[in-house]
Structure 1
Amino acid sequence: MRLFNVIKNEKKYWLVDQIQKDNVDQAQYKEQLSKILQQWKEGRSGFLSLLMDEAYEEWLLKKPFQKVSTIVEYTRDLEGLPRIHNDISYACLSDRKISEDEYKWLYGLCRSGTANKNDLQENMDEVLDSVKKELGPNWKDHCYYFTKDQDYLGMAIPHIEMGTKDEGRLFYFGVVPDKRSQGVGKELHKGALEILRTFGAAKYVGSTDIHNEAMIRIFQKNGGRLRDGNGIYRIEKETTRG
């Protein structure tokens, strides 16, 4: 039984995300994570970033992971969604209205100046490669952007969470810097939830750094309820012990 999702950039990092399952005890999670850590140590990647329940924190810090921050999760059912303003339009990369390079530029713009402490400081080629690895050959069908009067407002990458049938997630959501703190994020987030419904999602789970107050307000204004929080932990090759 797989208890963690793993995304690998073999030369730089592994991203490991705990899969919350009922009737699985801590010993099983620890055993599987220990095997993942051993595989990572034998490879060439520089660090491993882990998202995991903070109940394991004491054990993780002895590995020795370093705590980066806390991620909070909000959830809502996707029935009765609020409507996005009708003067905002959206399209996806597979519509071929813009190029991959232009989308990559927009992605980088939306990432700039955010409050997320777990920013991996990758270049945008690496960021887009991680999207392709996570979402597969039809990745362009998930890469949406929002405009008003032909000006970019932001972007979202909606998808159905791996291993589920109807849990909607956003691989990334962002607003361009000059449109922040104007209520734009709330409207774009409504649009992203609307897109998730067309993908067959019945519920939405959104997550962000506990310090990202702007994103937390968006979750709350669009009907999200706090579900739980998980720690972000990081371990470097040179700090590992045998």
Structure 2
Amino acid sequence: MGIPITNDELLFNQIKCLQGKDYLTIEGTKDLTDRQLQRLIQVMAESPQFKTIPAITILVDGTLTETMVSMFQTCGFHVRDEVAFYQRRLEDLPNVQSDWTIRSLHELNQIDFLKIWKRVISGSLNATSNLSMEKQMESVKSELGNRYKDSCLVAFEEKKPIGVLMPHIEPGTEKEGRLFYFGLVPDERNKRKSRLLHLHALARLKQDFQAAVYVGSTSVNNIPMRKVFERNGCKWIDKKLVYTRTVT
């Protein structure tokens, strides 16, 4: 489903929209003027084609005026999280060695994958999604297209699933690698495995997806994940507020 553009072509051409069946995420608002951002919020709140979307998320700089904060609130948006962004070039990524086996959805049952992914999400320091696991899977398919099975990976230690990694190329780019999700199941945390799992994900981005650069993000409150990024050579590049409006 594409973004329906009426009289705001210029505004929508300045931002990045990722849309699935039940959500819309808007990024790239940094260069918008206050007036343009106000218009964007107004369109999201008042236009019929957007009012019925179950979840709309807008990422913005944290230095908003009181007027902008008030407008977000008036239009039904609330701050769900504050996210830190990191970046790493991949040409000098070290070789990754471990006894783990990485299996994709080409080998795994989708129901089993979702059960493991749900365990990984539980207890996360990142803000929880408003979508069910099934709807999050639909988001993956919508956003990543035909290669979504290549991106849905589970790490096994012997025969035990220990974590999920979901590498992909950011839509609209050719070489920007991202992770749709990444993490360990609860009983494998605090065992010094996060850094290695993250390295496996970066290696997949470089080798299987030919990514040249990795851009990662996590909640500013997720200190363990931020340390993983830093230990794997990622540099802090930006910070954004995450405003969300949901329709039930």
What's the TM-score, normalizing by structure 2? 0.83
Distance 1:225 1:62, change over 3 A: same
SS of 2:47's equivalent in the other structure is helix
Instruction: Give the residue type in structure 2 aligned to 1:86.
Output: S
1:174 aligns with 2:183: yes
SS of 1:84's equivalent in the other structure is coil
Post-superposition Cα deviations, 1:155-209, rounded to whole Å, max 9, x if no partner, equal 1111111222211100111111111111111101000000101211111110001
2:20–2:138: 8 Å Cα contact kept in structure 1?
no
1:103 aligns with 2:113: yes
Partner residue of 2:27? 18
Match of 2:169 among 137, 160, 180: 160
How far did residue 213 of structure 1 move? Answer: 1.3
Deviating above 6 A after TM superposition, structure 1's stretches of 4 or more consecutive aligned residues are none
Partner residue of 1:81? 93
Match of 1:228 among 226, 238, 247: 238
Partner residue of 2:10? none
What's the TM-score, normalizing by structure 1? 0.85
1:138 aligns with 2:147: yes
C-alpha distance in structure 2 between counterparts of 1:116 and 1:232, whole Å? 12
How far did residue 51 of structure 1 move? Answer: 1.9
1:3–1:32: 8 Å Cα contact kept in structure 2?
no
1:153–1:179: 8 Å Cα contact kept in structure 2?
yes
SS of 1:174's equivalent in the other structure is strand
How far did residue 47 of structure 1 move? Answer: 4.3
2:21–2:142: 8 Å Cα contact kept in structure 1?
no
Instruction: Give the residue type in structure 2 aligned to 1:137.
Output: N
Instruction: Give the residue type in structure 1 aligned to 2:154.
Output: Y
2:169–2:176: 8 Å Cα contact kept in structure 1?
yes
Match of 1:69 among 67, 81, 87: 81
How far did residue 61 of structure 1 move? Answer: 3.4
Q: 26-35 vs 124-133, which deviates more?
A: 26-35
Distance 1:126 1:47, change over 3 A: closer
Match of 1:216 among 226, 237, 242: 226
- Say what the alpha-carbon RMSD is for the aligned residues: 2.3
SS of 1:139's equivalent in the other structure is helix
